[in-house]
Amino acid sequence: MIIRDIKETLKNTIEMRDVLKALNINLPGHGNKIKCFAHEEKNPSMQIYQNRVYCFTCQFSEDLFGVTSKVLNLSFPDSIKWLASQFMPGLQFDGHIDYEAIAQIKLQRAASEGLQIWRNNTYHRLCELFRATQEAKRTLKPDTIGFFVACQLEGPLDYLTDILNFGNELDWSELRQQMEASWGYPGYPELKSAKGGSRHAG
């Protein structure tokens, strides 16, 4: 298979976040800014787009292949070959491609996008519930059930939001399994009680 065809296949199969992960570049738990690898900096200024990155400080801008070439110090053709070795494991340079392997990559990317959506929705909901516990503690009397439930949930909610805010996809996946299997999220009674107590107090 010729380089041009490999390049087009990669462009239609992977995204910039996939490439950055393969290059072992630390990605944020949420958001799309990282520290620029084209210059040294303390605060992230490089924006991640679907198929490109752009640094607002040094104006470095490259696509999937340019980023790979920069980070690994490879020539352009070698960067394509490296990406093919990472994302097209069934590729044979005699003209054959393992399309099943490529389909699997696409399924994995779809699963990752679904996990991101779950993380965002869960994070915002738990933040609302955490604020509800704070409101309940502020407005309810200490001898009420609502106040007691709010105190009991404050620590766990703080812990869960930290995982969703600072964790990675593996952390989120494990948390999702735990919440769905053990707690029946999003409808387990304790969280509803805390939120209900807060509303009643208001």
Confidence of residue 176 (pLDDT cuts 50, 70, 90): confident
pTM as predicted: 0.47
End-to-end, the C-alpha distance of the chain in Å comes to 67
User: What CATH code is carried by the domain that includes residue 85?
Assistant: 3.90.580.10
Overall number of domains in the chain: 2
pLDDT tens across 4-60, in order?
Answer: 677 777 888 888 999 999 999 988 767 789 999 999 988 899 999 988 999 999 999
76 belongs to a structural domain: yes
> Does 202 score more than 60 pLDDT?
no
Confidence of residue 107 (pLDDT cuts 50, 70, 90): low
Residue range(s) defining the domain that contains residue 7:
3-97
- Residues 19, 88: one domain? yes
pLDDT tens across 44-89, in order?
Answer: 999 999 889 999 999 998 999 999 999 999 888 888 888 888 887 6
∠ CA 47-66-113, nearest 5°, is: 50
- Residues 52, 129: one domain? no
Q: What are the distances in angstroms from CA 47 to CA 15, 20, 36, 64, 116?
A: 14, 12, 9, 14, 18
Report the chain's mean pLDDT, rounded to a whole number: 78
The pLDDT assigned to 189 comes to 41
Q: Using an 8 Å Cβ cutoff, are 130 and 175 in contact? A: no
